[in-house]
Structure 1
Amino acid sequence: MHKQVLWTIGFLAVLCLVTGFASASEQDGNAEISIDNGINRFVLDGKEFMAVRAIRENFNAHDFDVVTFYVRDSDTWKLVPLFEDYSDKQGAERDLLTVSGGADCVLHDFRLLRATATHPLELVAADRELGKSYADSNIVHFTYFELATNDANIPGRPSLYFKMQKSTVARAQYCDVNEALDKELHLGADSHFSR
């Protein structure tokens, strides 16, 4: 009996490694869930998620990445959008994120952060105002989202979505939002941007 339990545990561990599935708490100690080009699969709160990241070619220095999030519900994949609830834009929906910039700097990027015992799953989007050019330093806005459920069945909201919690402005101006994410929020400078 003891050998069978050990074999089952070993089999499940190998299955997690081969399929790339593990709960957020079982993944490595890095706080970020890396979303690289292609299909990214992971498990959060016992639910299977998928993020798809692809390049949108522009045939100049301004190609950009498009990222969408999905959750499996039985045998159906459902979109997990972002809702920005600003006072002048109640419930503005974003079905995708873009990671973009120019040859000099990235103007839009994000980090998807694992939940911890003291902090919920969070998505932080960083957006820099264009200014005069892609190479200028300018104001960077951080928008924080948490994964939310539509338990009240509110019309217009899906069962699972990223809900905006707050928006802040970086203390300094930056050319590349990844520098702002690293220096001000300590989330690292690695963008995963496919340029």
Structure 2
Amino acid sequence: MSWVGARYRHVIRDVDGSPALVKISTIPKGARSRSWMGPSDLSEYTISADVRGARDNDKLPDIGLTAHGYVLDLMGQSQQLQIRTWSAQLRMAETIDFPWKENTWYRMKFRAEIESEPPASVTVLKGKVWPRDEPEPKEWTITARDESPNLNASPGLYGNAKDAEIYIDNVEVKANE
């Protein structure tokens, strides 16, 4: 599998006794970025990962997963969880309050599914976040719909490590069942 946009912004480091991907905060340009893995024609899949954010200068990073060109963003400073297409235009964004703690591992899961056939397709996006040491909740934490949908795109990672480092482990991508 290929990775695009991960090199230089991420390093492998020992975290809690095992290797993890670390999005570093010392990059002059590119502290906020996306990286992609796999082919760009993937559709209807779920991406999951264990994530943890550090705190530096009393600030937390933003940590996210991407699917179908959308982002599930665990927003540090605002303590919110958001699904969106593009941060410059929040045309279909859904945002909820979601307090989370630094230096605590969470499991994130982001699912993209197409609800109907073209030309009237709708992409339904569902996200969950929970403490990694707890069982997965049955209910989705946040849901969004896009009636002008992205029907496929590579899965990937999103992060803004300008303020503090991000730790990522156990990344999985699976076709929806």
Q: Which is higher, the Rg of structure 1 or of structure 2?
A: 1
Q: TM-score band, normalised by the shorter chain?
A: 0.3 to 0.5
* TM-score, length-scaled by structure 1: 0.30
Larger RCO: Structure 1 or Structure 2 (Cα < 8 Å, ≥ 6 residues apart)?
A: 2
Q: Which has the higher helix share?
A: 1
User: Relative to total residues, which structure has the larger strand share, 1 or 2?
Assistant: 2
